Homo-oligomer: A and B are copies of this chain.
Amino acid sequence: MRILMTPFTPPGETRDKVYRFVRRRILEELPPTVREVQEAFRFRAVQTARQHLERLVAEGRLVKAHGKSRGYRLPREPGTLFVPLLGRVQAGGLRAAIEECEGYIPVQSRGSEEVFGLRVQGESMTGAGILPGDIVVVRQQAEAASGDIVVALVGDEATIKRLRLRRSRIELHPENPAFATIVPRADECTVLGKVVEVRRYLEG
């Protein structure tokens, strides 16, 4: 009679650890192979790792692409995607700005909307809690409702303001008494998108 590595492990305990391991690896962008799971837990047989993984799939905690390498994934996509972080946007160049972006930030998003991040310059929106250096997350859309905070291209530079739709014109309101409301002509103003989130990183 041979001595087994684990005399007894409570049901589900190892499986839970396997789940957390796989989950972490997936969120780190490289799902593990079956054998990587095996090695991480020092199983002597591939099948042991495979069994745990298959049960996690059966339980609905994971999903998998059959036969594909590193095919285990998280079920309902957490809906995270990385969007480009832009330094500034100048006339016409949203596409160009996305090409030469500073980096990527994770955002939660439903669907495959076109979203980007933009670093805030200037103090015109401090009254709305948007400070210089903050990052606004913008969903691209050409239309917006009165009262929305939008990113608009006025002249040859993008600006962040609160949109007000009047009877015959649009107004871009700052949220800082030191700045004046902008009343652009329709042909010199383009709404690039709506601000859906504001972020401030206090270190790093």
Contact = CB atoms under 8 A, between A and B. Distances in A.
Interface of A: 24, 26-31, 33, 69-70, 73-74, 77-82, 104-108, 126, 129-131, 134, 149, 194-204
A28 to B, nearest CB: 7
B28 A31 contact: no
B29 A26 contact: yes
Contacts of A129: 126, 129-131, 134, 200
A3 to B, nearest CB: 34
The 10 closest A-B pairs by CB, nearest first: A198-B200, A69-B69, A106-B106, A129-B129, A27-B82, A129-B131, A80-B106, A199-B199, A70-B70, A196-B202
Contacts of A108: 105-106
Given A149-B202, A198-B199, A199-B200, 19 more contacts: A26-B29, A27-B80, A27-B82, A27-B104, A30-B73, A69-B69, A70-B70, A78-B82, A78-B106, A80-B82, A105-B108, A106-B107, A126-B129, A129-B130, A194-B202, A195-B202, A196-B203, A198-B198, A198-B200
B69 A70 contact: yes
Contacts of A106: 78, 80, 106-108
Nearest to A203: B196
Contacts of A77: 28-29
A79 to B, nearest CB: 7
